Structure 1
Amino acid sequence: MGKPWILSTLMLVIVLVLVARARAEVPAIIVFGDSSVDSGNNNRISTVLKSNFRPYGRDFYGRRATGRFSNGRIPPDFISEAFGLKPTVPAYLDPMFSISDFATGVCFASAGTGYDNATSKVLNVIPLWREVEYYKDYQNKLRAYVGNDKASEIISESLYLVSLGTNDFLENYYVFPTRRSQFNVKQYQDFLVGLSENFIRDLYSLGVRKMSLTGVPPMGCLPLERATNIMDSHNCVSEYNNVALEFNGKLGGLVTRLNDELPGMQILFADAYDIVYQIIKEPSQYGFEVAEKACCATGTFEMSYLCNEHNPFTCPDANKYVFWDAFHPTEKTNRIVSGHLIPTLLSTFS
């Protein structure tokens, strides 16, 4: 009976040691991507895809709806904290923050975006190329704030978190005919991997050297996809999950190749597919009661403005649910998934 306790204690000690080592190694957490990592940039643009209102953020610090698509924190927040930095990563477009805040962490992500520029146009959000332009602007501000030498050190030693791709498939390819008329799904995967390579090479040319690249989750198991999968008893859509696995495999191959081709570059493929799938398939093993529906509203199709404080169906305890809205995990799920990835991140980048 004592062994699990001993093992868990040892793991805690190891993580604490790694955290202590990490404090001096990673000066900032810098984030690119979509709603899985957006901490509020969409608040400042003209789009219907927002979450800066209750009940979003009801379990966040101060019960504030910050623009994170969750009831609380998202993965970059937990990762920043684990590296001995602040417990939240601010959005670059948030006027509450300035370069003094961004020097130790900043988020350029935009909910609804993708590798494909056409994806960002669907809901009028920030395209990935624009996230890079904001990053260039950030570099200039950082150099003015701390000087060229210190800024160069922060730029090269920071950990860059990149998470996107799901919207390219679910919001673009499978919804609109344009890309499907140009590519079959395997060709579209290759197209996206090519865009990912261009993006990584662009960041490398700007001084980036440490990166964690996350693939796509089991997107066929999102509540929205299960709700519409009527012919298969609202089970996960296996076609979408297979596409996710294939795409992740190609991204992993890209990471291996670029680690060889780019001198000094260190990219970790932080694949979260398996842990998310395990949580969905065996929710009770992780302390959840509901995996097929979300907490907010009816839990079947609502997100953004359809997930609002006036909906009487929203659950009282989000910790019982894997998903917060029809597309995004609860803070508890984010914490578990981040906790699964953090030891590898700490050991790789410390």
Structure 2
Amino acid sequence: MKAIHLLLFSQVLVLMIKICAQITSIIVFGDSSVDPGNNNYVATVAKSNFQPYGCDFYDKRPTGRFSNGRIATDFISEALGIRNIIPAYLDPHYNIVDFAKGVSFASAGTGYDNFTSSILSVIPLWKELVYYKEYQNRLRVHFGAENANKILSEALYLISIGTNDFLENYYAFPFRSTVYIVEDYENYLLGIAKNFIIDLYDLGARKISIGGLPPMGCLPLERNENYLSGKKCIQSYNRVAQDFNVKLQQLVRRLTRELGGVQLVYSDIYNILFDIIMNPQSFGFEVGERGCCATGSYEMSYMCNKLNPFTCSIANKYVFWDSMHPSEKTNFLVAEHTLKNTLAVFV
């Protein structure tokens, strides 16, 4: 296990040598893909602050990250020479000085759609923005307006959200699907994404990356629905993700033209994850179709617990940690891909 960590760390060091960072802070919005533990302080069942979550984190500590170790934003921060983890804004163990170098407002289970966040009683995206405004005020009180504004304008803003809107909302409950055909629901979400980016811009953000949807039909939880067909990926879900991503890229190009001085990029998560899932051995994995925790087919959060006898012994041999979330090694590979192919424009 330690050898795997050393390998990951050495790879990060290689990235750090190659990148001369101009970014001194990372500010994160989104869902469980980038939540480092905000849900620990929310009255929700969408939690992961217990073992075996965090079994490969520092001191084997479960932090609320939905992974066996670190998540992609942690690796991005370390590679840029900022810090080795991005803290959760609601974590009382950190203060505004800590948050000046990086902070995440993300909440596992949330989405663009307010109804999505209400399903598991997590932080809606609009509330993440409220916390961000509060954070801005705290920065200005502590550092002064000029220094705070410099931190905010030079920070890199990362957004990763949208999967729950489809898998935990549109396809799971009849409310949105009876009102919208899926193409119209995509457009509804894109309208929210557009307004959120404009709000960030109006609040001073100038370096923004927004991630697309993953191949959500290939997540173990969804493949489990195709039990009679050998647990193949649900292609209809993947097509929706691809269609949404094309529209999101179009939105990014349009806003880049309209918002003066913004550096706005689209981060492609779909293709790197699809390649890893379809060809796990090529990336050093042994298992790509199910997760490590429990049976790896349907368990996550409280169903993924230390009492389950089926959890694997070496999580980073698996593409997925639980039935929906990547392992630490996969998170590193996604971060590496994003740094090289998207975020390099910022440094």
TM-score w.r.t. the length of structure 1 is 0.94
Deviation at 1:69? 0.1
Give the partner amino acid of 1:44: Y
Q: Work out whether residues 209 and 266 of structure 1, in 8 Å CA contact, stay in contact via their aligned partners in 2.
A: yes
Equivalent residue for 2:171, pick from 169, 174, 183: 174
Q: For residues 129 and 335 of structure 1, do their structure 2 counterparts lie closer, same or farther at Cα, with a shift above 3 Å needed?
A: same
Match of 1:50 in 2: 47
Equivalent residue for 1:306, pick from 303, 307, 316: 303
* Structure 2: tracts of 5 or more residues without a match: 1-10
Deviation at 1:18? 4.5
Q: Work out whether residues 83 and 346 of structure 1, in 8 Å CA contact, stay in contact via their aligned partners in 2.
A: no
Q: For residues 176 and 33 of structure 1, do their structure 2 counterparts lie closer, same or farther at Cα, with a shift above 3 Å needed?
A: same
Match of 2:159 in 1: 162
Matched, 1:223 2:220: yes
Deviation at 1:344? 3.3
Hey, what's the Cα distance between the residues in 1 that align with 2:12 and 2:149?
A: 33
Deviation at 1:337? 1.1
Hey, what's the Cα distance between the residues in 2 that align with 1:320 and 1:16?
A: 25
Structure 2 counterparts to residues 93-242 of structure 1, below 5 A: 93-242=90-239
Hey, what's the Cα distance between the residues in 1 that align with 2:30 and 2:14?
A: 30
Hey, what's the Cα distance between the residues in 2 that align with 1:66 and 1:42?
A: 10
Deviation at 1:82? 1.1
Hey, what's the Cα distance between the residues in 2 that align with 1:287 and 1:198?
A: 40
Deviation at 1:233? 2.0
Match of 1:73 in 2: 70
Q: Work out whether residues 266 and 342 of structure 2, in 8 Å CA contact, stay in contact via their aligned partners in 1.
A: no
TM-score w.r.t. the length of structure 2 is 0.95
Hey, what's the Cα distance between the residues in 2 that align with 1:344 and 1:172?
A: 31
Q: Work out whether residues 33 and 110 of structure 1, in 8 Å CA contact, stay in contact via their aligned partners in 2.
A: yes
Backbone CA RMSD of aligned residues: 1.4
Hey, what's the Cα distance between the residues in 1 that align with 2:259 and 2:58?
A: 40
Deviation at 1:293? 0.9
Give the partner amino acid of 1:45: V
Q: How many residues align?
A: 337
Equivalent residue for 1:82, pick from 79, 92, 105: 79
Equivalent position SS for 1:144: helix
Deviation at 1:27? 1.7
* Structure 1: tracts of 5 or more residues without a match: 1-10
Hey, what's the Cα distance between the residues in 1 that align with 2:98 and 2:323?
A: 32
Hey, what's the Cα distance between the residues in 1 that align with 2:344 and 2:278?
A: 29
Hey, what's the Cα distance between the residues in 1 that align with 2:29 and 2:16?
A: 27
Deviation at 1:316? 0.2
Structure 2 counterparts to residues 281-300 of structure 1, below 5 A: 281-300=278-297
Deviation at 1:345? 4.3
Deviation at 1:319? 1.4
Equivalent residue for 1:315, pick from 312, 326, 330: 312
Hey, what's the Cα distance between the residues in 2 that align with 1:261 and 1:66?
A: 39
Q: Work out whether residues 18 and 347 of structure 1, in 8 Å CA contact, stay in contact via their aligned partners in 2.
A: no
Q: For residues 27 and 16 of structure 1, do their structure 2 counterparts lie closer, same or farther at Cα, with a shift above 3 Å needed?
A: closer
